[in-house]
């Protein structure tokens, strides 16, 4: 999973994502912002999309309790295989990537805890050249009216970003020549 290490603006946002709650003294309390950050990078050599999604642990746990109808779920006290299955089902049901009007097949690889967030790893293999990427990210919209899902898509060294909200859960990223 080391190929998922990011650089630049995306890493800065990811650092802020984890740092803000800690700096505000919120390491063990509810945080005042509802945000996820998703980084999608096209690896032309491997012909795949490498996707990292950062979601606050407490928010994801509440979403999982609702989604799987398990009110007492403690995702941090769940064995790794079960956590992967629970999180993977939710994430893949709430997140979609369409390249040039073709839905991509995605594989949920797993997750790890980083600070107050889960970092979820997703892979979309067998991807050929494309110019338009539509991302739908409905993560946590069932919990928070003010949820923002920040999405960064990188292809050929160019990064495009969008803020997705409940009233606009999809964004189109164009990498056509001249854009």
Q: What is the pLDDT of residues 118-138, one digit of tens each?
A: 999 999 999 998 999 999 999
Largest pairwise CA distance in the chain: 52
Q: What pLDDT does 178 receive?
A: 73
Q: For the chain, which residues make up each domain, given as ranges?
A: 6-22+34-174
Query: How many CA within 13 A on the CB side of residue 13?
Result: 20
Report residues of the chain scoring pLDDT below 50. 1-2, 4-29
Q: What pLDDT does 127 receive?
A: 96
Q: What pLDDT does 177 receive?
A: 82
Other Cβ atoms within 10 Å of 172 Cβ, number: 12
- How far CA 16 is from CA of 21, 35, 58, 77, in Å, comes to 9, 11, 17, 26
């Amino acid at each position: 999973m080391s190929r998922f290490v990011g650089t630049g603006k995306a890493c800065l946002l990811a650092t802020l994502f984890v740092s803000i709650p800690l700096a505000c003294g919120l390491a063990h309390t509810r945080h005042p912002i509802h945000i996820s950050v998703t980084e999608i990078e096209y690896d032309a050599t491997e012909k795949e999309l490498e996707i990292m999604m950062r979601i606050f642990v407490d928010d994801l746990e509440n979403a999982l309790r609702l989604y799987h109808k398990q009110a007492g779920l403690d995702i941090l006290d769940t064995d790794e295989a079960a956590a992967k299955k629970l999180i993977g089902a939710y994430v893949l049901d709430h997140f979609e990537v369409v390249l040039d009007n073709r839905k991509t097949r995605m594989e949920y690889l797993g997750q790890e805890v980083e600070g107050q967030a889960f970092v979820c790893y997703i892979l979309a293999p067998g991807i050929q050249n494309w110019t338009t990427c539509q991302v739908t990210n409905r993560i946590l919209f069932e919990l928070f009216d003010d949820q923002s899902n920040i999405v960064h898509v990188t292809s050929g060294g160019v990064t495009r970003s969008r803020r997705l909200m409940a009233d606009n859960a999809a964004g189109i990223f164009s990498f056509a020549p001249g854009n």
